[in-house]
Amino acid sequence: MEKQTEPSGVYEVFVQRDHLDPMMHVGSLLAPTNELALQLARENFTRREQILQIWVVPRTHIYSAEEDDFHAREMDRSYREVSGYTENGRLWRMFKEKEITLEEIVRYVEQKKQSKHDLHREESHES
């Protein structure tokens, strides 16, 4: 990485708490060099919590959209969202079944040990 030479440049700080988490922006700080920025980031942001990784990025290296309408939603996008399909629950009930959610599938697949009942028919089904 190139050495930052201007006195006290602004650095944006990112931390990763767990291998399954993305890098998260936590704040910024002033520092004269990359190395000092890293030291300061550790002291300022991670005094207590256990973290895996810190990134410090000179603010001048961050490029972001300037126009306000860059993120504008020009039309209704419910067709690509779960919230656009809320009628599924009602429709399944017409067939005496219930809707299924992704979270439910993930929990079901990840569960370490299954009871007899789970394997046959998911637990919540008959409730």
Contact footprint for other proteins (CB under 8 A)? 19-22, 77, 79-82, 84-85, 87-88, 91-92, 94-97, 99-103, 105-106, 108-110, 116, 118-122, 125
Cβ 102 to other proteins, closest distance in Å? Answer: 4
The residues facing 14 across adjacent strands are 25, 55
Nearer to other proteins, 7 or 22 (CB): 22
| Smaller CB separation from other proteins, 69 or 87 | 87
* Furthest CA-CA distance within the chain: 69
CB of 127 to other proteins, least distance (A): 14
The 3 state secondary structure assigned to 30-78 is EECCHHHHHHHHHHHHCCCCCCCEEEEEEHHHCCCCCCHHHHCCCCCCH
CB of 97 to other proteins, least distance (A): 4
For residue 99, give both structure tokens.
């809707």
Shortest Å distance, C-beta 81 to other proteins: 6
* CB closer to other proteins out of 8 and 86: 86
CA atoms of 54 and 16, how far apart (whole Å): 6
